[in-house]
């Protein structure tokens, strides 16, 4: 069976994830250099390095290739009303993306949120368009910026340096998890297709260091 994780930050909403960086081709700016948004990746620090957190992600890396993986995922989501794809990692394979699309199509009772940088690779466009056409799916193309820069109509999320510099705009929403000890606390904006852009204030000491270096 697929290994599904529970994320306390997301009010206990469940997610299916892979190990960060090695399944994130969209995180590479140039050989050996990560894009700014991934330099402070939370999924490479702290709890994410514990063996019991890494093991399911490594298991999932090959498990999805099974013939009956889609059937198993659909059955596993029977009681979920919200689901997050890739708390860490990314949809690095077109075959995986096509399987996730089928899971989304066969679980209309569940809202899916899939953040990704794989939109940079044209071969993924058709499968992302098919996901976006579903009422129960929010696919968010992540901007690489950590200073709030994004392309309207393309990006669905961006990191901004802090909440104080966030400028409210129609269709955008500031993630206010920082006001609730880092938890969603009932907010479901990331799953809401009517919200064009989510702005996440930078979090974590590692990301704070990256931003300081960028601004030096």
Give the residue with the Cβ less far from ligand SF4, 17 or 127. Answer: 17
For binding to ligand SF4 (CB under 6 A), which residues are involved? 175, 177, 184, 187-190, 198
Total residue count of the chain as it appears in this document: 216
CA distance linking residue 61 with residue 50, whole number of Å: 17
CA torsion sign for 2, 59, 5, 113 is negative
Give the residue with the Cβ less far from ligand SF4, 43 or 184. Answer: 184
- The structure tokens listed for 21 are 């960086």
Give the residue with the Cβ less far from ligand SF4, 73 or 159. Answer: 159
Question: C-beta of 137: minimal distance to ligand SF4 in Å?
Answer: 15
The strand pairing partners of 142, in sequence order, are 157
Give the residue with the Cβ less far from ligand SF4, 59 or 178. Answer: 178
CA distance linking residue 199 with residue 51, whole number of Å: 31
Question: C-beta of 93: minimal distance to ligand SF4 in Å?
Answer: 25
Question: C-beta of 67: minimal distance to ligand SF4 in Å?
Answer: 34
The strand pairing partners of 72, in sequence order, are none
Question: C-beta of 11: minimal distance to ligand SF4 in Å?
Answer: 8
What DSSP character marks residue 189?
G
């Amino acid at each position: 069976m697929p290994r599904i994780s529970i994320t306390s930050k997301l009010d206990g909403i469940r997610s299916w994830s892979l190990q960060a960086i090695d399944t994130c081709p969209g995180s590479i700016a140039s050989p050996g250099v990560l894009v700014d948004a991934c330099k402070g990746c939370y999924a490479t620090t702290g709890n994410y390095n514990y063996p019991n957190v890494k093991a399911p992600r490594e298991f999932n890396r090959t498990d999805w290739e099974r013939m009956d993986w889609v059937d198993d995922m659909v059955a596993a989501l029977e009681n979920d009303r919200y689901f997050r794809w890739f708390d860490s990692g990314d949809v690095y394979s077109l075959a995986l993306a096509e399987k996730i699309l089928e899971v989304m199509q066969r679980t209309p009772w569940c809202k899916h949120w899939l953040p990704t940088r794989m939109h940079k690779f044209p071969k993924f466009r058709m499968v992302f368009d098919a996901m976006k056409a579903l009422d129960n799916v929010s696919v968010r193309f992540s901007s690489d910026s950590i200073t709030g820069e994004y392309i309207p109509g393309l990006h669905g999320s961006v990191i901004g340096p802090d909440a104080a510099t966030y400028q409210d705009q129609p269709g955008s929403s500031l993630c206010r998890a920082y006001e609730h000890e880092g938890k969603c606390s009932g907010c479901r904006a990331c799953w809401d297709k009517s919200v064009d852009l989510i702005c996440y204030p930078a979090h974590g000491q590692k990301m704070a260091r990256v931003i300081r270096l960028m601004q030096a």
